[in-house]
């Protein structure tokens, strides 16, 4: 019987302090974050400027609510910040809509954001660190 790969469990990040305890399985972590906590995450490139694409996503979330089915793909950067690989417009739009009083008066349009966080070999290195000799 072939060995089964372990799947990462969904972990809740309820505050910035929870970031220290994220467990990775095969360098991947599934993370669920309440929208009110998203601003505490250490993003590097999360803000998307005003564009037709962003306005379209904002309108969609206002009309239908945020679809948490597709995760925002992020990787852990060298200095511990999260670099958005896919889903930056969705994240920016969700944050905009979540802050709108009238849009959320009868029903919250955004509750949580689902992230897939990848750790790469360079995640734990510093840009200013001296290079290591991998042959020794």
Q: In sequence order, what DSSP letters do the residues of 30-62 get, joined into one string? A: EEEEEGGGGGGS-BSS----S-HHHHHHHHHHH
| Residues spanned by the domain of 93 | 10-119
- The predicted structure's pLDDT at residue 136: 37
92 domain-assigned: yes
Residue 129, in any domain of the structure = no
- Residue 109 falls inside a structural domain: yes
What CATH number did the domain enclosing 17 receive? 3.90.1530
In a domain, 128, yes or no: no
The reported pTM is 0.82
pLDDT at 49: 84
| 18 in a structural domain | yes
**Quick check: is 4 in a domain?**
no
Residues of the chain with pLDDT under 50: 127, 134-136
* Residue 44 belongs to a domain: yes
Tell me if residue 122 falls in helix, strand or coil: coil
- Side-chain half-sphere exposure of 38, counting CA atoms within 13 A: 24
| Number of compact structural domains in the chain | 1
**pLDDT tens readout for residues 66-78:** 999 999 999 998 8
Q: Over the stretch 33-58, which tens digit does the pLDDT of each residue have?
A: 999 999 999 998 877 789 999 999 99
């Amino acid at each position: 019987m072939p060995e089964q790969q372990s799947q990462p469990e969904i972990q809740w990040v309820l505050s910035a302090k929870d970031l220290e305890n994220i467990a990775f399985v095969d360098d991947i972590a599934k993370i669920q974050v309440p929208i009110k906590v998203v601003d505490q995450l250490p993003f590097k490139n999360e803000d998307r400027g005003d564009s037709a694409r962003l306005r379209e996503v904002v309108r969609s979330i206002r009309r239908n609510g945020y679809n948490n089915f597709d995760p925002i793909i992020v990787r852990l950067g060298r200095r511990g910040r999260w670099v958005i690989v896919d889903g930056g417009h969705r994240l920016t739009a969700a944050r905009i809509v979540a802050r709108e009083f009238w849009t959320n008066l009868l029903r919250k349009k955004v509750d949580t954001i689902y992230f897939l966080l990848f750790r790469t070999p360079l995640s734990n290195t510093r840009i200013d660190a001296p290079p290591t000799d991998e042959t020794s």
